[in-house]
Every structure is written in C-alpha cells, then in structure tokens.
Structure 1
C-alpha cells in the first residue's frame, strides 16, 4: 500500500527524507552556534519537539568536519539520564585518540591530565555535542563547567554544545543553576515562523517526481490549513503523510481542505500537547509542580479546583514555560 500511495500522488520519497530547509531562523542559529563554538564554553540550543534541532546539529557537525579547523566529538549514549562526566570523558577520548592500544586512565587525576595533553597536542579547538540534553542530571550539567575549565587550564579550548527542549533553557536560567547557566550561551530555535507555507511547498517539490505538480497533491486551501494549524517541520510531515494515506483510501486527488480537517487532531493546541512539545511531559510536570500525577492529570484536563489550578498556572509561568 505504501508504494501505491507514493505512485498515486507522484512522490519519490518520504516527506521527512527531504533535503534540509534553511528558514531564516535556522540560518541565524547556524551562524550563532558556529561563532560560539569557536570561542569555547558551554552552549545550549533549545527548541520544541520536531523543530529541527537534531537536523541542524548534524549540518553543523558536518560543516565543522569539512572545514577541519575544529575537532568534533559527540556523546552517543542514548540514555541521557545515566550520562555523567565519566561518560563524557569516554566520548572525548574515543573521538580524539586514534591509537587502538590507548586505554582511558581509571584514576580521575590521571584522566584529566591525559585529556589536557591530548587536546594540547592536537593544537585545535574541540567541540563536544550532546543531544537530548534536557534529560541530563543537574550534577552532569554542573560537571560540564569543570570539564571545560579542565581543558582551558591545560591550554586548550573546549566547547560543549547541549541540545534539548525549551525545558533545558529554563533549567539553566534557574537561580539554583547559576553556576552553569550564567556561564552558558543559550540560543533558541523558534522554528519555521512565517516560512511554514514556503516549507510545505518546498517539501512537496523536493519529494515529488519530476513531472508531478504540487497542486496535484494538495489544493491551495489544504496547504493553507496545514500552515495555519501546524507549527514544526515534524508536525507538518506527519500530518501531510496521514492526509495522503486517507486520501488514497478514498481516491481523492488533489487532497482538499475537508479531508485535511478530518485528520488533524482536535486537541492539537490543548495544554498537554503544548507542554509536551516544550519538553514538559507528565513526569517532568510532577517535579516542576511538586504535585501528584493524579492532580497534574486533572489540571491538564481542566478538572482541578480553581484555586489549585491557579497555583499550578503560577508555577508554570515562574518556570518560564509560557
């Protein structure tokens, strides 16, 4: 059925396989990050779920590798809640050392000195990338400062780029995190902004067969509705794909606005999805609000008593979420 859908609408690849779309905000974030990396220190890039952070990260990493002026390292650990400073030392040694016989020192003092020696001998700045950094423990975030200072004390330059949901930026701005937050450069990826319609047309043009036309896939009104209702590249690709699936089932081509309305989730802009896109799932909300899961669920459904709901709203605003 998948291949039949692609053929029916004249598509050659999935929407999420399209080449990278550089909206104005993405270009600005790219330039800002590269400039900050050259200076070293802790750099945070935040953006809501599906805004294109990871794609931007890959593009920057490849650009730096191509330029060969800065050495790129990356933490590959998938469970960021378990990542600590020891994990990050392992990532750095793994990417910086080419000798297969090398063994990472087990004693902290020797390990730090060895890292200083290696980076000094490379005679180039080093950047360490950590994705999904909103899941890092507070102690790990604090440890980033000491890691950067260790390299600087040895005469080297280390930039640590942490990437995550807006919850990461809000965490760094807390007074209790001032030791790290005040030393961090924080950049936010706003997303497509006013470029949503342009993005949709670009994706369709990028994914369709050579002789196909955008207007043969979606009507102008359908494209306008996608642009009005959705926020991120991930959302747009997801719901356009759902529209294709339903359109194929009913034999509709081009897909019109009524069909698009039928596949858009009715609670797309309700409180819980909005918070989740910012990095505040149920577990995180319970911690931020210092509340039971049942109370948080009631608040999300609008079923909490007015006084308690207002108290929750104040805490959310105080955390910098909205």
Structure 2
C-alpha cells in the first residue's frame, strides 16, 4: 500500500515470521547461539521461553533452517496432542509409515528403529516443539519417556521446547519434576531495548529495499519503544500503522504524530492511559 511511497520493494512489518528479517539483537542472538552450542553438545532438553510476540516462532524457524544440513529434524507447531498422537506425529515427521502400525507399541518400535538407523548414519535427530505450553501434562510425560530411547553411547533424540512463560509454570509441577531435571539449558527471550528497537526498524526497512535517510525520528522511536514495551510483534504493528499514517498525509518520514495515531488505533499497546502525557 505505502511501499512505493517510501521506495520499498515489499511491506517490511508483516506479522508472518520471515527469517530474512531476523535481527541478532542481544537476547535473540544469545538464544540462537545457546541453541546451536547445546545441540552440538548433544544435550537432551533445551527450553526457550518468552512473552507473546517476542519472536519465538521466528527463532524456531531460524533454528530449523540452521539445522537443515546438520541434523534430521521433526517439527511440531501445535503440540496439543494426546500421548499416542504425539508418538504418531513424531514418527511421521521422521518418515515412519504409521499407517502400517496396528497400535502404539508398534509405532514406538518403528520409531525406535528409525532413530537407531539415523544414529548409525551419524545423523542427530532434533525434535522442535513450538507453543509447548499447550501440551497436556500426560503428553509432556510421554515426551520424557520418548527421550529414553537411546543406545549405550548415543542419545537418539534431542528436544527443543519453545513456549510462553506458562510453560515454566507448568513444568514446576511435582509430577513433571523428572522432565524438568532433564532440561540442561534454558533461555528467556527479553524485549528489545530502545537502541535495539531503532536497529530493528532500520534493519527491516533496509531488508525491504529502503536506502534513504533515517525513516523514524528520535521522538517516533521513543514512543514506539514505550508503547510496545520492546515486544517485536507490537513494534511491527505500530511501525506499520505509523507508516500508513505518514503515507496518508504525504509525509516522507515518521514522526511522533504518526506514531500517536498508531497508538490510538492499537488496543494491545502498553499503558494506553499514558497517551495524554505523550501529547
């Protein structure tokens, strides 16, 4: 809509996760580095948590891309499954013909055989679960039992859990303490700082083809940072609406006024009651 007005090749603030727009901000870059190092060390369980909109799914997709040539991956974007459905989903992701299995025992047997074959090929297997806080308690326990599949010298399956902070609360239950003890690395994604928000906006418009002067004024950056709380998804929403406001007025740069319009139009931003103080 406003792309040609600002000299862009595409919309820079779409909410759909796109790894090309990933910015190695301190927290996100550290999380990715931890994941890659922990997986290279063949650690069993790794957990990444963060508030809604902090970029967990984007980080998850980036990890899958990084592992593409190094490991065999299984990806579950919606883990609200029964234990039996979990086993079948993981087996299918690893190429097991589940339809030929008469029961759960046969599914597990075929899955174990597939994991051993991959281990013989020296191919690590990584199960990546997004939105892990949605897993029923008995399915989490089934996941722990699934990781018991191993040889005397090789861990057959590594698991990466991505989830909201509710996942931490869930895993605090005494009934899940055995799995909790197996989580060797954990990282909590943090919101972007003001400097990171500025870098984030600059990076995204540049990736979309912008090569002009600074697009967002210092005042606009302050407002976006405060209103969004540094949550990337909210930064995207406010930046997009601010650019719409500027385009509608024929302006070539984003100022405080454009951001204030965006804030008024966005119910989910932080502390909307402070708007009067920003005017």
Q: Does 1:25 align with 2:23?
A: no
Partner of 1:195: 196
Give the root-mean-square deviation of aligned CA atoms: 2.6
The answer (yes or no) to whether the contact 2:88–2:107 under 8 Å persists in 1 is no
Partner of 2:50: 47
Q: Distance in 2 between matches of 1:153 and 1:222?
A: 58
Structure 1 pair 102–165 and aligned structure 2 pair: CA distance change class (3 A): closer
User: What SS is found at the alignment partner of 1:149?
Assistant: coil
Q: Distance in 1 between matches of 2:100 and 2:268?
A: 51
Q: Report the CA distance between 1:36 and its aligned residue.
A: 2.6
Structure 1 pair 173–167 and aligned structure 2 pair: CA distance change class (3 A): same
Q: Report the CA distance between 1:236 and its aligned residue.
A: 1.0
Q: Which ranges of structure 1 fall in alignment gaps of 5 or more residues?
A: 272-322
Q: Does 1:87 align with 2:85?
A: yes
User: What SS is found at the alignment partner of 2:205?
Assistant: helix
Partner of 2:275: none
* 1:248-307 per-position Cα deviation (integer Å, ceiling 9, x unaligned): 223333222122123214773359xxxxxxxxxxxxxxxxxxxxxxxxxxxxxxxxxxxx
The answer (yes or no) to whether the contact 2:25–2:192 under 8 Å persists in 1 is yes
Partner of 1:120: 116
User: What SS is found at the alignment partner of 2:252?
Assistant: coil
Partner of 2:12: 15
Q: Distance in 2 between matches of 1:84 and 1:43?
A: 22
User: What SS is found at the alignment partner of 2:202?
Assistant: helix
Q: Distance in 1 between matches of 2:99 and 2:150?
A: 19
Structure 1 pair 170–153 and aligned structure 2 pair: CA distance change class (3 A): farther
Partner of 1:252: 251
Partner of 1:311: none
Q: Distance in 2 between matches of 1:91 and 1:154?
A: 26
The answer (yes or no) to whether the contact 1:52–1:191 under 8 Å persists in 2 is no
User: What SS is found at the alignment partner of 1:255?
Assistant: coil
Q: How does 1:135-146 map to 2 (within 5 A)?
A: 135-146=134-145
Q: Distance in 2 between matches of 1:152 and 1:168?
A: 29
Q: Report the CA distance between 1:148 and its aligned residue.
A: 0.5
* 1:68-91 per-position Cα deviation (integer Å, ceiling 9, x unaligned): 3x2111125x4x43x123223223
User: What SS is found at the alignment partner of 2:148?
Assistant: helix
Partner of 1:261: 260
The answer (yes or no) to whether the contact 2:50–2:56 under 8 Å persists in 1 is yes
Partner of 2:207: 206
Q: Report the CA distance between 1:127 and its aligned residue.
A: 0.8
Partner of 2:72: 71
Q: Return the structure number with greater helix share.
A: 1
TM-score by length of 2: 0.81
Structure 1 pair 104–43 and aligned structure 2 pair: CA distance change class (3 A): farther
Q: Report the CA distance between 1:111 and its aligned residue.
A: 2.5
Q: Report the CA distance between 1:57 and its aligned residue.
A: 1.1
Q: Report the CA distance between 1:43 and its aligned residue.
A: 2.2
TM-score by length of 1: 0.71
Q: Distance in 1 between matches of 2:153 and 2:114?
A: 10
User: What SS is found at the alignment partner of 2:160?
Assistant: strand
Partner of 2:65: 62
Q: Report the CA distance between 1:147 and its aligned residue.
A: 0.7
The answer (yes or no) to whether the contact 2:45–2:160 under 8 Å persists in 1 is yes
Q: Report the CA distance between 1:102 and its aligned residue.
A: 7.0
Partner of 1:279: none
Q: Which ranges of structure 2 fall in alignment gaps of 5 or more residues?
A: 273-279
Q: Report the CA distance between 1:106 and its aligned residue.
A: 2.6
Q: Distance in 1 between matches of 2:111 and 2:267?
A: 53
